[in-house]
Amino acid sequence: MKKSLLLTVIAVLGLANVNAQNVEFGAKAGLNFASIYGDNTSDIGFVTAYNFGLMSEISISEKFSFQPELLYSGIGYSIDDESDDDTVALNYLTVPLLGKYYLTERFSVEAGPQVGFLLSAKQESTDVKDAFKTLDFGTSLGLGYKLDSGLNFSARYTLGLSDISESEDFSNNTGVLQLSIGYFFF
């Protein structure tokens, strides 16, 4: 896992040096509305968590840019059964690698792959990290709006493509709607 993270960071930093005069750096934070889907998920509900981290936007042309991010992202799900409401909190370090196409000067569509590195998994106060795989690969699709001041807004959905469960009896994937506000400093 450490080698994968290191290679991802090196690749992102290498791309940032391609055209340094057209690179912006910033931070972002927001809310996640997350759950899982797949086998045995009929009693599974959404949880609300948060995300925060760093981002960069590298202009390729007037209409197209590349936006790598490094985010702490809370994901998880709630279990609705007759006895109680229980929550499983999955905390990831995610690396979205998004292509952005500007439909207008400020409004963009964004899409690209994402890799998530599982940091922790808790059910109530019990550590359940061993029940989940350490990597989660997904794909993101979203919309963005960027003001001249550097303030920006985004809404995206990330669909998990890999099975996150260590169990051989069933397969589960993540699904996250992410709403964020960011600011490009320079």
pLDDT tens profile 75-104:
999 987 655 568 999 999 999 999 999 999
With a cut of 60, say whether residue 73 has pLDDT above it: yes
Above pLDDT 90, what percent of the chain? 76
Domains and CATH numbers, the chain: 2-184 (2.40.160.20)
Most confident of 19-23, 43-47, 64-68: 64-68
Query: What's this model's pTM, rounded to 2 decimal places?
Result: 0.85
**CB count in 10 Å sphere of residue 35:** 18
* pLDDT at res. 186: 82
Contact 171, 39 (CB under 8 A): yes
pLDDT, tens only, 135-144: 999 999 999 9
With a cut of 80, say whether residue 64 has pLDDT above it: yes
Contact 52, 71 (CB under 8 A): yes
* Residue 70 banded pLDDT, cuts 50, 70, 90: very high
pLDDT, tens only, 142-154: 999 999 999 999 9
* pLDDT at res. 42: 82
With a cut of 80, say whether residue 14 has pLDDT above it: no
Q: What is the mean pLDDT of the chain?
A: 90
- What does 127-164 look like in DSSP terms, one character per residue? E-GGGB-SEEEEEEEEEEEE-TTSEEEEEEEEEE-S--
Among the residue ranges 61-70, 84-93, 106-115, 155-164, the one predicted with the least confidence is: 84-93
* pLDDT at res. 16: 47
Mean pLDDT to the nearest integer, 1-17 = 55
* pLDDT at res. 5: 53
* pLDDT at res. 101: 98
Tell me the pairing of strands 151-160 and 172-184: antiparallel
